[in-house]
Amino acid sequence: MKTFDSEGMTLCRFQGDLFAYGEDNSDCSSSCFVRAFLYSSLAKRLDTGDFYFEATDVPKAFAELASEKSLSRGNEKRGAKILYWVGYLLRYWAYTEGVSSAALAKRIKPSVLFGVYEAYHGLSMAEAVERIKESIGEKDPKAIARRIYLRK
């Protein structure tokens, strides 16, 4: 498990801001946006550290994502506040546990994250991740590591 440091916080804030921006500026549902991002080249760059902090321009990153992925399916919107939390949480989880965004997308559906927002958004990110893992049956870190693709 990686220590959550200032680099991690910068990445989490950026991803949270990107998710909130996407909620307000795309025509797709919240779930569609989250899935599109998790499988994007931008997410891969954030996962691997091949991301330049001077390029944390949210509108520019959104434009890159929109040019790569279709952001026009569905219409169920959850709200920018919830999307910020989901984006931050997913980056925290990926950063601290060394898992890829795509691996997280395979383990947990956006609807689950939206569903636990009210109960968990007041918790620390570490507590929220642990409770979510428990709810999906992933309690043992070694078992989790065997089932999730680890980066590098």
In a domain, 22, yes or no: yes
CA pair distance 22, 40, nearest whole angstrom: 14
In a domain, 152, yes or no: no
Is residue 142 over pLDDT 80?
A: no
Average pLDDT over residues 78-102: 96
CA pair distance 66, 1, nearest whole angstrom: 32
Structural domain for 48, as ranges: 6-147
Comparing 131 with 150, the larger pLDDT belongs to 131
Average pLDDT over residues 132-148: 66
Average pLDDT over residues 114-141: 89
In a domain, 1, yes or no: no
Average pLDDT over residues 85-100: 96
Secondary structure of the chain: what % helix, strand, coil (to 5)? 70, 0, 30
Specify the pLDDT at position 79.
93
For residue 61, the number of C-alpha atoms closer than 13 Å in the C-beta half-sphere is: 25
Average pLDDT over residues 24-42: 93
Average pLDDT over residues 74-80: 88
Global pTM value: 0.86
Comparing 122 with 144, the larger pLDDT belongs to 122
In a domain, 61, yes or no: yes
For residue 47, the number of C-alpha atoms closer than 13 Å in the C-beta half-sphere is: 22
Q: What is the number of structural domains in the chain?
A: 1
The DSSP 8-state label assigned to residue 98 in this structure reads: T
CA pair distance 99, 11, nearest whole angstrom: 14
For residue 4, give the 3-state DSSP assignment: coil
